[in-house]
Structure 1
Amino acid sequence: MTIYVEVIGDPIAQSKSPAIHGFWIEKLGLDAEYRACHVTSEGLADYLAERRADHAWRGCNVTMPHKKDAIPLVDRLEPLAKRVGAVNTIHRAADGKLIGRNTDVAGFLEPLSDRLEQQHYFRMARVLGTGGAARAIVTGLAKEGFTLVLAGRNPDKARALLDELAEGEHHTAPLAHFADPTDFAFDDREGCCDLVVNASPLGMRGQPPLAFDWSHAPPGSIAYDIVTDPVETDFLKAARDAGFGTIDGLSMLIGQAAAAFSYFFGKEPPREYDAELRGRLMA
């Protein structure tokens, strides 16, 4: 029996998940398939009921707009998914139960792992955006001891998100605050870890640009953009031109897929081929 996994969403044609998981399936020689399946909000419950009865189905990745709506439809919800309030991975456990998980947090943190293993006097992240992706990012960074500045069009929404997901003293700002230059004199950042994260769709193909002036970033900051289309965003280009290090959206995408792959197939994906995988995704 050829087992299969799917990614579901509305729309779904743009998903890179079939290319990522298919690449790993090919490298490992698994008798398995990974498919994309268009599922509307109205059809989500029926989809899961039908797939639950298919023993060849091992689960699905969940994209927008289903990450919250899937929560009441699973049998068990892992604590992290409950905290984030979003499910991006559903897998069938050995007992047949459907487990709702969130691998976005692990995927986001993965390319930061080397830095997070170091000791820092202080960690601060400026996170731009207050949508669904920001929930996972805020949760992950708060867990790693970052003081957060969460910026959005609606600072009240940003404050509510911080109060829900991040313990400690954190801050909000209007997104427009970062658009104009500043002459703020940053203190000594030796031994600190600073991030500027675009957690919004701004800068994505077909979306307005993200207005961020890099004078707002402390020296030594890392620019991290979760946008994957294009991979090389204007946000990252401007950061590099200003002398900052960068992390692109494929890093998070591949990281969250790797965590999900191990649940679906019971094997670790062959990460030694990441450079080849990136080449395929960017072709």
Structure 2
Amino acid sequence: MDGKTRLAGIIGWPVEHSRSPMLHNHWCRVHQINGAYVPLPVEPGQLETALRGLVAAGFRGVNVTIPHKEEAFRLCDELTETARRAGAANILRFAEGRIIGDCTDGTGFCDNLLAHDVALEGRALILGAGGAARAVAASLQDRGCEVFISNRTAARAEALVQALGTGTVLDWAEWPDRLGEMNLLVNATSLGMGGRGDVDWPALLQAGQAGLGVADIVYTPRQTSLLKAAQERGFRTVDGLGMLICQARAGFQAWFGVLPDADEASFDLLAQDLARHGLS
């Protein structure tokens, strides 16, 4: 690193679970870019202070993860149309003192499903109502899916459907009985991250029908308790690692000037690291 090193990073709380630094720094090496991407733990309530400090320090931009995505959206000076539709920003670019927000969670999610031969059609049930859930819901709707939202706090699910302009809210206690009507189940909550979350997924999946696709945005561990239960039922499953790689490409291009490939080498790098830490 020197005075010309391009700097970017990821803001979250916690942030130590993120493999984004490994991925982006790998791409910097592959493309021989004088750049560095660093983890930035920022407590809730400190996001605006942190962002303005990074702008002043000359950073090119940052990724934003839990729990800051929706607040980051509000703090942006400018937003892409995709970010407005998603109601969240996971990629921030700093330019001439301004913060420009974009959202690639939804497109990264859908690209990952397609890469795993999961059709984007029919009815999709999304668990969760945060920034990632909205981004995923918007992208699925844009591809013609009928979207259902269920969240433990019903008011948040209702607010999400209202913001999207279409969709159906299912009560948290009701969705397991309606699962047989669905083509896709998406866990867009943090349940299962780091192995936490006391959820009896085998019981909740009982009504699912053959052909159901089950996706989790969590990738630590890759095989969450939801995905393990879904595999035991014979459902097609997709973990969150490919979503991480697919959504990261646009940010890397914005900060470092090159659009990297979501290639096998990138996937293997992260998969092997997760395995080393017992998170495969």
TM norm structure 2? 0.84
Is 1:28 matched up with 2:17? Answer: no
Cα pair 1:71 1:87 within 8 Å, conserved: yes
Cα pair 1:203 1:210 within 8 Å, conserved: no
Q: Point out the structure with max Rg over C-alpha.
A: 1
CA 1:49–1:233: 2 relative to 1, 3 Å: closer
Percent identity, aligned pairs only, is: 34
Name the SS of the counterpart of 2:52 in structure 1: helix
CA 1:66–1:157: 2 relative to 1, 3 Å: closer
Alignment of 1:1-283 (within 5 A): 1-55=4-58, 57-93=59-95, 97-113=98-114, 123-167=122-166, 170-179=167-176, 194-204=183-193, 205-209=195-199, 211=201, 213-272=204-263, 273-282=265-274, 283=276
Deviation at 1:228, TM superposition (A): 1.6
1:181 & 1:9 partners in 2: Cα distance? 34
Instruction: Give the aligned CA root-mean-square deviation in angstroms.
Output: 2.7
1:19 & 1:91 partners in 2: Cα distance? 20
Deviation at 1:7, TM superposition (A): 0.9
Deviation at 1:59, TM superposition (A): 0.7
CA 1:231–1:52: 2 relative to 1, 3 Å: same
Name the SS of the counterpart of 1:235 in structure 2: helix
CA 1:73–1:175: 2 relative to 1, 3 Å: closer
1:86 & 1:117 partners in 2: Cα distance? 25
1:21 & 1:128 partners in 2: Cα distance? 29
CA 1:3–1:200: 2 relative to 1, 3 Å: same
CA 1:245–1:207: 2 relative to 1, 3 Å: same
Cα pair 1:81 1:87 within 8 Å, conserved: yes
1:16 & 1:154 partners in 2: Cα distance? 29
Cα pair 2:249 2:259 within 8 Å, conserved: yes
Aligned length: 269
Alignment match, 1:189? none
1:155 & 1:52 partners in 2: Cα distance? 37
Cα pair 2:17 2:220 within 8 Å, conserved: no
CA 1:244–1:202: 2 relative to 1, 3 Å: same
TM norm structure 1? 0.84
Residue identity in the other structure for 1:69 = E
2:144 & 2:81 partners in 1: Cα distance? 19
CA 1:275–1:90: 2 relative to 1, 3 Å: closer
Alignment match, 1:190? none
1:210 & 1:24 partners in 2: Cα distance? 39
Cα pair 1:159 1:172 within 8 Å, conserved: yes
Deviation at 1:126, TM superposition (A): 1.5
CA 1:116–1:96: 2 relative to 1, 3 Å: farther
Query: Where does the alignment leave 5 or more consecutive residues of structure 2 unmatched?
Result: none
Deviation at 1:61, TM superposition (A): 0.8
2:115 & 2:12 partners in 1: Cα distance? 33
CA 1:178–1:73: 2 relative to 1, 3 Å: closer
Name the SS of the counterpart of 2:173 in structure 1: helix
Query: Where does the alignment leave 5 or more consecutive residues of structure 1 unmatched?
Result: 187-192
